Every structure is written in C-alpha cells, then in structure tokens.
Amino acid sequence: MFPVDIHMGDFKCLNAIVNNESWLWHLHFGHLNFQSLENLSKRNLVNGLPHIHHPDQLCEACLFGKNHRIPFVKEPWRAKFPLELVHTNVCGLINISSVGGNKYFLTFIDVFSMKTWIYVLKSKDEVFHCFKIFKAFVERESDRQIKMVHSDGGGEYKSNEFKRHCEELGLQHNIICPYTPQHNGVAERKNRTIMDMARSMLRAKGMPNYFWTEAVTCAVYLINRSPTRSVPNTTPIEAWSEFKPNVQHLKVFESITYAHVPKAARSKSDDKAVKNIFIGYKHGGYKLYNPMTKNVIVSRDVTFVEDEEWQ
C-alpha cells in the first residue's frame, strides 16, 4: 500500500466564479475558450449571454485537460548549394518482404535540389554501410562535400560507428528530439509520397505487393523528374545536375514487354524476343522481370504493350 496525494490545487476559475461572471460562463460552456465566448457575445449569436471579458488568469483545469504541443514553425532557412544539408530516414518495417527479402528502404534527400536517392534494405544494420556508399557517390558526382546530415533518433543513426565516422570527417549530424517526426518532415513527407506512388502503380496493374521494392525505386526515379514546390520552375534532377531531363523514354510501370534476344544468345530456331514485365529503369535501359523464369534482365531493345497486364 502506498499513500497517494490527490490534492489538485486551487483552480483559478473556480475561485473566481463568485465575483467574475466571465469565469462563470466559461464553466457554463464546459471550459469553452474565451475567444469563442467573446465571439458569441459580440456577434449576438445566442440569447442570454452577457458581455464576456477575457480575464488575465489562466484556467488550470484547461491547462491539464487541453494541453497541446507548441506548433512547429517552418524554418525559413534553405540550403544555398548542393549537399549543404541532407535529410535521411528509414521507412519500414514493411509487412510484406520483397522478392529479394528486403523489408525497409532508406532515403537521402538533398535539400538544395530535393533530389532523392533510395536504397532497399534487409535490416536497419545496413544503414551505415549505405550512408558511406551514398556519401562517396554524391561527393564524387558533385565535386562537393556533405556539410550536414539530418535524421531521427533511431538506433541505426545513433550507433558508435556512425557517430565516430561523422566526427572523423567533421560532418555535422543533427538528430531530432524524440517523438517529433515533424522536425524530420522533409524525409517523412518524401517517404509518404514514395509509398503512395508505389501503391498506386502496383494497384493499377494488379501486381503482387512483394514487388514493392521495384515500385518504390521506380517512384523515386519519377519523383526526381517531377515538379516540387520546394524547388520552383525546375525539377530535382535539373537542380542537382543543371541538366534538363528527357522523359520520352518513360513507360507505364509493369507493362507487358517484348525484349529483343541478341543473336549471340539464341539459335536460328529460337524466338527473337522474350516476354517480360517492365519493373523499372536502369543504366540507360529498362529493367524487366520474367515471371516464368524469375529472372531479371536489363535491355534497351524493348517493345511495350502498355495497355495490357500480365495474366
């Protein structure tokens, strides 16, 4: 048995009801806020309500019963050059494993250009390894260095090796406060956009959900070539590379395709094309999946039938 002190203290509004009519009406209306009470009174929206004056005291009952978080103010600061700030986040655990056994995907977003890079993961232990690969690739491609990385406080970002790596390179790593995903809003919104697009593409062609890795990867490819309010009058890929992308090669995700079989890979009696499903873009060609053999190939010599789906 433990003694419990249930003394709640004196509420300002309860002490004042005898000589303050405004407080009394605050209680009559079930602790309705005083701004709404004043509107009711000034605009004569009801009968029988006297003039309401907003008192200086606080209602302690309202502080306990209605307390809410302070609004998140959007930071006016923006990156002035590529890789000045990179947001990152892990999405998952996804309830359906992919064909390759992946259960997560990892994104990196360059805030200056809003270009996104994606890596699919089997476990969160791969995050640090993917970060090193990403860092080496984008720094060589842009001839710049990452200045700051912004992430949530997940264990994959707070490991000793991640911390030590950033310290050795002089890389600033900002970790948001616990339970405040709004502070990592850039990455959170991007992941939601990616998943929404991926679900739509899978649904449109009736493909199994275990193709989600191909769908999210294709979604990022398309998002980088789509407009965004954060970078007006351009696309993320152009803001990053200063090169306007060509989109004439885009095709409907998971369309039926017929890929040319090179002469060296067939005999004279073999078919000159093989039927596949289009699952993404890679190395200047199309990534194709054969549901009969379970093989994936990349080809540029492809004929598309975009209005059909695999039966």
Locus of tokens 């002490």: 15
Q: CA 302 from chain center: how many Å? A: 33
Residues 109 and 192 in one domain: yes
What's the rounded Cα separation, in Å, for the pair 44 and 31? 20
Rounded Cα distance, 242 and 221, in Å: 17
Distance between alpha carbon 224 and the CA centroid of its chain, in Å?
Answer: 14
Q: Are residues 46 and 188 in the same domain?
A: no
Contacts of 231 (CB under 8 A, 6+ apart): 113, 114, 239
Q: What is the pLDDT of residues 133-172, one digit of tens each?
A: 999 999 999 999 999 999 987 888 988 999 999 999 999 9
Task: Say which DSSP state 128 is in.
Answer: H
Q: What is the mean pLDDT of residues 269-292?
A: 91
Going by pLDDT thresholds of 50, 70 and 90, the confidence category of residue 20 is confident
Considering the domain architecture, whether residues 45 and 153 belong to the same structural domain is answered as no
Angle value at C-alpha 92, between 88 and 98, nearest 5 degrees: 115
Q: Is residue 249 part of a domain?
A: no
The string of pLDDT tens digits covering residues 70-101 is 554 455 457 889 999 999 999 988 888 888 88
- Answer yes or no: do 92 and 230 share one domain: yes
Which of 17-31, 249-263, 280-294 has the weakest average pLDDT? 17-31
> Is there a single domain that holds both residue 95 and residue 175?
yes
Strand 256-260 with 302-305, pairing? antiparallel
- State mean pLDDT over 91-115: 91
Q: How many CB atoms lie within 10 A of CB 38?
A: 15
pLDDT at 56 over 80: no
pLDDT band at residue 65 under the 50/70/90 scheme:
low
- Of 66, 95, 111, which marks where a domain is finished? 66
Say yes or no: 39 and 164 in one domain: no
Number of domains in the chain: 3
The residue segments making up the domain with residue 91 are 85-241
10-17: average pLDDT: 48
Judge if pTM exceeds 0.95: no
